[in-house]
């Protein structure tokens, strides 16, 4: 190495590379030194021992560039996941701010706990999942979005909160674009705590989850035969009504003529009568003889 340093930069680089390759088996720390000198941490991560992932992560945190650090942590997490160490892989994914991959392990834990109790919802495990994911969302930033699977879990958590009367908290954790989440957000928006729920949703009214349709009654197809029959019935009924009307007019005319004839007859003169009313007695005046 000392002699190669006198032969220029190209000779120095080649000699250094050959030296690290030949001595890395005898002196394992030289692989770390070589990675730091060359700034080739990608190759270092691929060749590292998964059992020593903590040392590797510490080296990446100390000597890695800030713009390369998230990608290197993701590669280390993939290495650990392929080795079956999902818990350690999730920690590497958290360091890389990889939301989907980090939450995937927590979701797997939640599903395993639900299966262990026969498929019922474990509210404590559900609460723990939502809390960890919410904190990680704040660390990642407001631009991050949950996957449809994780959003469905948040919707289920919001439903449980709404059932307990915690409407504002339910509005805060109701996420996703599924039909269930849209219906739940609309219900919370129209609830008794509508102003506070609206503030928890960001101040924007939720999308109406149903489609508006015009329910005007459509006309049935015209039946020509039925219309012809109805027209015949109408004509027959019209002729019957006309004949009845004529008979009524004729009868009214007869009655009116009889009334006129009776009114024109002279009144009969009263007939004098000598008969006394009942109970009366006739007496004769002795002077006049009447």
Q: How confident is the model at residue 236 (pLDDT cuts 50, 70, 90)?
A: low
What is the residue whose two structure tokens read 């009524």?
A: 248
CA distance 189 to 197: 6
pLDDT of residue 267: 47
pLDDT of residue 269: 47
Over residues 249-254, the mean pLDDT reads 61
pLDDT of residue 184: 93
Check pLDDT > 80 for residue 91: yes
Phi/psi-derived region of residue 123, left when phi > 0, alpha when psi is between -120 and 50, beta in every other case: alpha
- Select the more confidently predicted residue: 264 or 109: 109
- As a whole number, the mean pLDDT across the chain is 78
- Select the more confidently predicted residue: 141 or 112: 112
pLDDT of residue 126: 92
CA distance 63 to 36: 7
For Cα atoms 114, 92, 41, give the angle at the middle one, nearest 5 degrees: 155
Over residues 106-133, the mean pLDDT reads 89
CA distance 170 to 159: 7
Instruction: Please report the sign of the dihedral spanned by the C-alpha atoms of residue 162, residue 164, residue 168, residue 173.
Output: negative
| Tokens (6 digits) for 95 | 């360091």
pLDDT of residue 249: 63
Residues 126-141 have pLDDT tens digits of 999 999 999 998 888 7
| Tokens (6 digits) for 276 | 């006394």
Q: How many other CB atoms are found less than 10 A from the CB of residue 187?
A: 18
Residues 179-207 have pLDDT tens digits of 999 999 999 999 999 999 999 988 888 88
pTM of the model: 0.61
């Amino acid at each position: 190495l000392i002699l190669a340093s006198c032969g220029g930069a190209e000779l120095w680089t080649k000699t250094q590379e050959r030296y690290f390759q030949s001595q890395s088996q005898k002196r394992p720390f030289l692989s770390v030194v070589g990675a730091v000198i060359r700034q080739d941490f990608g190759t270092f991560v691929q060749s590292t021992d998964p059992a020593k992932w903590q040392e590797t992560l510490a080296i990446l945190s100390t000597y890695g560039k800030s713009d390369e650090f998230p990608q290197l942590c993701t590669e280390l997490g993939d290495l650990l996941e392929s080795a079956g160490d999902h818990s350690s892989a999730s920690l590497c994914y958290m360091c890389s701010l990889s939301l989907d991959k980090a939450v995937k392990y927590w979701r797997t834990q939640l599903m395993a706990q639900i299966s262990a109790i026969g498929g019922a919802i474990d509210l404590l495990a559900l609460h723990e999942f939502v809390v960890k994911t919410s904190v990680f969302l704040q660390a990642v930033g407001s631009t991050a979005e949950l996957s449809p699977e994780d959003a469905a879990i948040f919707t289920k958590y919001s439903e449980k909160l709404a059932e307990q009367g915690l409407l504002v908290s339910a509005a805060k954790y109701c996420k996703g674009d599924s039909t269930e989440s849209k219906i739940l957000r609309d219900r919370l928006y129209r609830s008794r705590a509508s102003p506070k729920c609206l503030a928890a949703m960001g101040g924007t009214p939720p999308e109406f989850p149903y489609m508006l349709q015009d329910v005007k009654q459509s006309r049935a197809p015209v039946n020509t035969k039925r219309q012809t029959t109805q027209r015949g019935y109408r004509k027959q009924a019209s002729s019957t009504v006309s004949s009845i009307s004529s008979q009524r007019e004729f009868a009214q005319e007869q009655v009116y003529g009889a009334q006129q004839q009776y009114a024109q007859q002279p009144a009969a003169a009263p007939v004098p009568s000598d008969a006394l009313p009942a109970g009366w007695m006739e007496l004769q005046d002795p002077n006049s003889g009447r």
